[in-house]
Amino acid sequence: MATTAHTIDPGDLPRAMLDIATSLNDWVIILPIVLCLMGGAFLLLVREWRGAQLGLTLVFLAAIAALEAQLFVRVLTDGPIAMTMGNWLPPFGITFAVDVLGAGFALAATIATIVVVISYSADTMQREVRYGFYSLIMLLLAGVTGAFLTGDLFNLYVWFEVMLIASFGLMIIGGRKIQLDGAVKYGFLNFLATTFFLIGLGYLYGLIGTLNMADIARVASQTNSPAMIAVAGLFLLAFGMKAAAFPLNAWLPASYHTPDAAISALFGGLLTKVGAYALLRTMVLMMPAAREVLDPVITTIAVATLLLGPMGAMAQTNLRRAVGFIVIGGIGSVMAGIAISGLFGVAGGGLYAIHSMLTMTALYLVAGMIEQVTGTDDIRRMGGIYRASSGLSILFLVLVFASAGLPPFLGFWPKLLLLQGALLDNDGLLVAAILINSLFTSIAGARIWAHVFWRNGREGEAPNAINPDLKPVAAAVKRPTIFASAVLVALILFLGLRPNILLESAQIAAVGLVHPDRYTAAVNLEVPDK
Q: Which of 202, 233, 288, 342 binds other proteins (CB under 8 A)?
A: 202
Stretch that binds other proteins, among 28-36, 169-177, 282-290, 341-349 (CB under 8 A): 169-177
- Least CB distance from residue 180 to other proteins, whole Å? 5
**Residues 458-487, mask of contacts with other proteins (x by CB under 8 A):** -x----------------------------
Compute how many residues bind other proteins; rule: CB under 8 A: 52
CA separation for the pair 496, 411 (Å, rounded): 7
Q: Which of 131, 203, 386, 483 binds other proteins (CB under 8 A)?
A: 203
**Residues 430-449, mask of contacts with other proteins (x by CB under 8 A):** -----------------x--
Cα 38 to chain centroid, rounded? 22
For 26, half-sphere exposure in the C-beta direction (CA atoms, 13 angstrom radius) is: 18
- Least CB distance from residue 35 to other proteins, whole Å? 23
- Least CB distance from residue 290 to other proteins, whole Å? 18
Q: Which of 50, 62, 73, 188 binds other proteins (CB under 8 A)?
A: 188
- Helix residue ranges, H only, 450-499: 473-476, 479-497
Helix (H) or strand (E) holding 81: strand 81-84
Task: Give 82's strand partners.
Answer: 97
Query: Could you say whether residue 111 binds other proteins (CB under 8 A)?
Result: no
- Cα dist. 464→321, 383, 387, 458 in Å? 28, 11, 12, 10
Residues with Cβ within 8 Å of residue 59, at least 6 apart in sequence:
none
3-class state of residue 88 by DSSP: strand
Give whichever of 133 and 251 is closer to other proteins, judged by the CB atom: 251
Under 8 Å between Cβ of 203 and 176: no
- Least CB distance from residue 483 to other proteins, whole Å? 30
Query: Could you say whether residue 295 binds other proteins (CB under 8 A)?
Result: no
3-class state of residue 83 by DSSP: strand
- Least CB distance from residue 450 to other proteins, whole Å? 5
CA separation for the pair 330, 124 (Å, rounded): 29
CA separation for the pair 178, 165 (Å, rounded): 19
Pairing, β 95-98 against β 81-84: antiparallel
- Least CB distance from residue 314 to other proteins, whole Å? 7
- Least CB distance from residue 380 to other proteins, whole Å? 5
Residues 307-326 that bind other proteins (CB under 8 A): 314-317
- Least CB distance from residue 376 to other proteins, whole Å? 12
Residues 216-275 that bind other proteins (CB under 8 A): 253-255, 257-258
- Least CB distance from residue 166 to other proteins, whole Å? 11
Query: Could you say whether residue 296 binds other proteins (CB under 8 A)?
Result: no
Helix (H) or strand (E) holding 98: strand 95-98
**Burial level of 484, CB count in 10 A (0-12/13-18/19+)?**
buried
Stretch that binds other proteins, among 19-27, 151-159, 228-236, 360-368 (CB under 8 A): 151-159
CA separation for the pair 174, 484 (Å, rounded): 23
Q: Which of 32, 40, 187, 240 binds other proteins (CB under 8 A)?
A: 187
Under 8 Å between Cβ of 196 and 499: no
Report DSSP state, residue 454: I
CA separation for the pair 54, 461 (Å, rounded): 43
Q: Which of 180, 497, 501, 527 binds other proteins (CB under 8 A)?
A: 180
Q: Which of 46, 178, 429, 439 binds other proteins (CB under 8 A)?
A: 178
CA separation for the pair 329, 310 (Å, rounded): 6
Q: Which of 56, 58, 158, 432 binds other proteins (CB under 8 A)?
A: 158
Query: Could you say whether residue 78 binds other proteins (CB under 8 A)?
Result: no
Under 8 Å between Cβ of 342 and 327: no
For other proteins, the binding residues (CB under 8 A) are 4, 7-10, 13, 154, 157-158, 161, 164-165, 168, 172, 175, 177-178, 180-185, 187-188, 191-192, 195, 198-199, 201-203, 205-206, 253-255, 257-258, 314-317, 378-380, 447, 450-451, 455, 459
